[in-house]
Amino acid sequence: MRKFAVAGAGVIGKHHGKVISQLADQIELVAVADVDLSKAQELTAKHGGKPYAGLTDALRTQEIDVVVVCTPTGKHGELAIEALEAGKDVIVEKPAEITVEKTDEIIAAQQKAGKLVTVISQHRFDPSTEQVLGAIARGELGRLTSGIASIDWWRGQSYYDSGDWRGTWALDGGGALMNQGVHTVDLLVAALGRPVEVFAYTGTLAHERIEVEDVAAAVVRFESGAIGMLHATTAAYPGLSARLQVHGDRGSAVIDNDQLVFFQVTAEGQTPEERLMGTNTAREVPTAGSDPGMLSDAHKSQYLNFLAALDGAEEVRVDLATNRRSIGVVTGVYESARTGRPVTLS
Ligand SMILES: NC(=O)c1ccc[n+]([C@@H]2O[C@H](COP(=O)([O-])OP(=O)(O)OC[C@H]3O[C@@H](n4cnc5c(N)ncnc54)[C@H](O)[C@@H]3O)[C@@H](O)[C@H]2O)c1
């Protein structure tokens, strides 16, 4: 039985408490740390463990195997590094940190500690995503030509006012693209490969009292030559969907709100029908078992991958290096919007 501690008992910390309870045959919640002790107490009352006002106390007094970091993003590095230095494996919520440099600090601490770290990017584990990435890996979409990652969501001013870290550069690290859009950026990068350049515009158009953008639009060039578009907003009332489109010269796929809504590919050994002009002939392809909505069962699937990795049976599917690439795209968008120039991504 592996012993888990959760640091940060807010919106997503509560969800992790639930996931840990769902996996009670393999793991147990032994500690919850939150600077607001009442939140830690609320979570332990529901899912077990001892409440603490800080991770340091929990690490000092409890036997812990894995620390789950669910604090505001700009605090992830500090807590993840503290856990790694204490010899723990770490699950860190997305995005790993607010900059590539801070992500590199966690990577350095991980390498020194020789421990495992996964960054939550639960939509990588959606059946729809797995189907599309599998088809890409088998070459069934052919040469990848372009992709679109778009989230057109709504967050009221009350959302940004609900935590003093929300909408700040120091702790949220950005707005619609860094906080909400990073999931879909991560899927676009998983589909199209290494991003090399980005050009962007951003704006803050429908909210007050936030430092960051509530709309971002960008073009990304990938190493393969494929071209991607990013669109992320929390200013699209009443809030529509998160959508990924991937196109190649042998097929296309569209995921909308975690569901595969278009999928037409050409299997190995087959030749795509020559067409003067294409038309949309594919039927809608519903996928089984994918629960639309932000907090589906996908977190649990990512936990199962991490537990298998701890047992040496699987590789960690979303590691720090993977998430670093998405953070690089997002911070490249901000730099481009600020300078008015394309930004080369390292
Ligand atoms: N994977 C997802 O779908 C998803 C969804 C929501 C949030 N998140 C991520 O989870 C993180 C937290 O977001 P949230 O919405 O839960 O925020 P939140 O404000 O609801 O919760 C954060 C909690 O952390 C606590 N905290 C702050 N500093 C701390 C510290 N040093 N030690 C211990 N606790 C501390 C706060 O008191 C608060 O209870 C963010 O990085 C966010 O991007 C991911």
Cis peptide before 51 (omega within 30 of 0): no
Q: Which atom of ligand 1 is nearest to the CA of 33?
A: 33
> What pLDDT score was predicted for residue 244?
98
User: Domain 2-119, what architecture?
Assistant: 3-Layer(aba) Sandwich (3.40)
> What pLDDT score was predicted for residue 273?
81
Beta bridge partners of residue 198, listed in sequence order: 220, 343
Contacts of 271 (CB under 8 A, 6+ apart): none
Is 329 in contact with 185 (CB distance < 8 Å)?
A: yes
Contacts of 249 (CB under 8 A, 6+ apart): 142, 143, 145, 272
> What pLDDT score was predicted for residue 293?
46
> What pLDDT score was predicted for residue 243?
97
Tens-digit pLDDT profile for the chain (346 aa)? 999 999 999 999 999 999 999 999 999 999 999 999 999 999 999 999 999 999 999 999 999 999 999 999 999 999 999 999 999 999 999 999 999 999 999 999 999 999 999 999 999 999 999 999 999 999 999 999 999 999 999 999 999 999 999 999 999 999 999 999 999 999 999 999 999 999 999 999 999 989 999 999 999 999 999 999 999 999 999 999 999 999 999 999 999 999 999 999 998 888 888 777 776 666 556 554 444 444 668 899 999 999 999 999 999 999 999 999 999 999 999 999 999 999 999 8
Residues having CB within 6 Å of any atom of ligand 1: 7-13, 33-36, 39, 54-55, 70-73, 75, 93-94, 120, 122, 163, 179, 294
Q: Where in the chain is the domain with CATH 3.40.50.720?
A: 2-119
Count of residues making up the chain: 346
Nearest CA to ligand 1 atom 14: 11
Cis peptide before 95 (omega within 30 of 0): yes
> What pLDDT score was predicted for residue 289?
44
Q: Where in the chain is the domain with CATH 3.30.360.10?
A: 124-291+324-344
> What pLDDT score was predicted for residue 272?
83
Q: Would you call 37 helix, strand, or coil by DSSP? A: helix
Q: Minimal CA–CA distance to 320: which of 27, 148, 59, 89?
A: 89
Mutate to test the pocket of ligand 1, among 34, 38, 42 (most ligand atoms within 8 A of CB): 34
CA distance 52 to 41: 8
Type of residue found at 172:
D
**Ligand 1 centroid distance, CA of 156 (Å):** 18
Overall CATH class of domain 124-291+324-344 = alpha beta
Q: Which residue has the tokens 């994918």?
A: 290
CA distance 166 to 182: 15
| 3-state helix vs strand vs coil in the chain, percent to 5 | 35, 25, 40
CA distance 226 to 313: 34
Nearest CA to ligand 1 atom 20: 10
Beta bridge partners of residue 148, listed in sequence order: 229, 245
Decide the pairing of beta strands 259-264 and 252-256: antiparallel
**Ligand 1 centroid distance, CA of 44 (Å):** 16
